[in-house]
């Protein structure tokens, strides 16, 4: 089954779960990702997903998506095997509407990251394009400790279940600088790109009265929260660093 239209809604998928004997679905259309901060639209998107999970296609073996968009969002991927319990092949392509994608790509949240990776890793034949993914901002930022725990779990899942020949995949946490990088034919690596003295930055505070930037670092020893080392930079040195190395 192939659809070649450019659609602006997820609703048209509602009739697919009725086709119980489907063994392959190829969706050759662009459906924009549902916007999380628009509750009405996102709830409609979730209801569309629910139609699949409540009416699973047990004979489906292959799912191909020729356009990345709503189908690559975490709430869909988390439920991939509930909707298609015997899925063996999952292929995703950027497609011809890739210019519509907003960079950085934001399809997954921190809370759903392990579930998404477990779902993808359990597919026998997985093919997704090389991409850099930045996690969706949450209304309530998780702590550095929680974020590190999730990223370590994600690294373990990818190491154990992702195929080595999978294309390059980078997953970025903009809040604390955690990054997982999986290059083709190499195991995934976890590192932090927001460090001072090779220690992650827990918090950044601007003291406008004293014209200083306070960096609170992760403690190197088990200590109470907020007990890590502090580094104070003047506004002028921050400006100078920006002009020297970034501008």
The string of pLDDT tens digits covering residues 212-245 is 999 999 987 766 655 568 999 999 999 999 999 9
Q: State both tokens at 38.
A: 């628009």
218-222: which pairs have CB atoms within 8 A and are 24 or more residues apart? 218/144
From first CA to last CA, the distance across the chain in angstroms is 50
Domain 11-196 -> CATH class = alpha beta
Mean pLDDT within 66-73 = 86
Residues 59/23, Cβ–Cβ less than 8 Å = yes
Residue 140: predicted pLDDT: 62
Q: Which residues pair with 91 in a beta bridge?
A: 64, 127
Q: Considering the chain, what is the average pLDDT of its residues?
A: 87
Residues 128-176 pLDDT 10s: 999 999 999 876 668 999 999 999 999 999 999 999 899 899 999 999 9
Tokens of 67: 């356009």
Neighbours of 167 (CB within 10 A): 14
* C-alpha span between 211 and 61 (Å, rounded): 61
Number of neighbours of residue 133 by Cβ within 10 angstroms: 18
Residue 103 in contact with residue 140, Cβ under 8 Å? no
CB 65 within 8 A of CB 7: no
Which residues neighbour 75 within 8 Å (Cβ) at sequence distance 6 or greater? Answer: 45, 46, 49, 112
* 66 or 206: which leads in pLDDT: 206
Q: Where in the chain is CATH 3.80.10?
A: 11-196
The pTM score is 0.87
Q: Under DSSP, is residue 107 helix (H, G, I), strand (E, B) or coil?
A: coil
């Amino acid at each position: 089954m192939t659809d070649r239209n450019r659609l602006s809604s997820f609703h048209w998928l509602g009739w697919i779960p009725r086709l119980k004997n489907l063994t392959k679905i190829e969706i050759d259309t662009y459906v924009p990702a549902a916007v999380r901060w628009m509750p009405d639209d996102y709830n409609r998107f979730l209801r569309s997903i629910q139609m699949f999970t409540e009416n699973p296609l047990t004979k489906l073996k292959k799912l191909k998506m020729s356009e990345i968009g709503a189908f690559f969002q975490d709430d869909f991927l988390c439920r991939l095997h509930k909707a298609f319990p015997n899925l063996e092949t999952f292929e995703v392509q950027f497609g011809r509407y890739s210019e519509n994608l907003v960079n950085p790509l934001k399809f997954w949240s921190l809370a759903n990251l392990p579930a998404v990776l477990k779902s993808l890793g359990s597919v026998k034949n997985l093919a997704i394009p090389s991409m850099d993914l930045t996690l969706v901002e949450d209304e309530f930022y998780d702590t550095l400790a929680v974020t590190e725990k999730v990223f370590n779990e994600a690294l373990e899942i990818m190491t154990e279940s992702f195929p080595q020949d999978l294309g390059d995949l980078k997953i970025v946490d903009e809040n604390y600088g955690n990054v997982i990088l999986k290059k083709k034919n190499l195991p995934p690596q976890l590192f932090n790109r927001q460090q001072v003295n090779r220690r992650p930055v827990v918090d950044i505070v601007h003291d406008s009265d004293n014209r200083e930037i306070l960096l609170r670092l992760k403690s190197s020893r088990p200590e109470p929260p907020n007990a890590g080392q502090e580094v104070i930079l003047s506004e002028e040195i921050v400006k100078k660093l920006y002009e020297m190395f970034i501008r």
